[in-house]
């Protein structure tokens, strides 16, 4: 699994003009599922993101996790994170999982984050979405279960 994680002051996702998920302070997680991913990757990535110390403490050091900072997650499915741009000008998405595999792993990630006590809002899996956010810092991190774990 791959994730782009952005610390935000606020964020929301809209589908056809309708807000499907919104948060105040927290993390936007753009989540891509690969063909080789399974439940273990979904669970471990949720745990990793929940524990990331990317929020400032009283001394402005990045020492607090999203829950310690009183924040939430906004999780958005993003198969294009698996885009391979090595050849030509059109990305190849051959390593991205199809919807029948990706949806349950996306849902498992969201479920595990909730089990960890986090408030989680979501986009709409497979929909054309507009993601609105105010990146704070900015703080943006890339996580890949093939490399991180």
The residues annotated with a catalytic role in the active site are 78-80
**Dist CA 121 CA 105 (whole Å):** 16
Place of tokens 């986090």: 118
Place of tokens 């899996």: 125
Q: What angle do CA 54, 57, 60 make, to 5 degrees?
A: 85
Q: What angle do CA 40, 46, 49 make, to 5 degrees?
A: 135
Distances (CA, A) of 123 to 23, 50, 110, 141, 147: 11, 18, 11, 20, 26
């Amino acid at each position: 699994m791959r994730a782009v994680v952005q610390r935000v002051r606020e964020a929301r996702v809209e589908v056809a003009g309708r807000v499907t998920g919104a948060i105040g302070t927290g993390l936007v997680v753009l989540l891509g599922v690969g063909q080789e991913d399974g439940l273990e990757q979904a669970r471990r990535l949720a745990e990793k993101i929940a524990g990331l110390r990317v929020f400032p403490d009283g001394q402005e050091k990045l020492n607090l996790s999203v829950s310690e900072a009183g924040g939430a997650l906004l999780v958005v499915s993003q198969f294009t994170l698996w885009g391979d741009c090595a050849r030509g000008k059109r990305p190849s998405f051959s390593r991205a999982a199809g919807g029948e595999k990706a949806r349950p792993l996306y849902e498992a990630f969201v479920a595990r984050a909730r089990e960890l006590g986090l408030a989680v809002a979501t986009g709409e899996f497979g929909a054309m979405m507009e993601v609105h956010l105010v990146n704070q810092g900015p703080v943006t991190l890339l996580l890949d279960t093939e490399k991180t774990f």
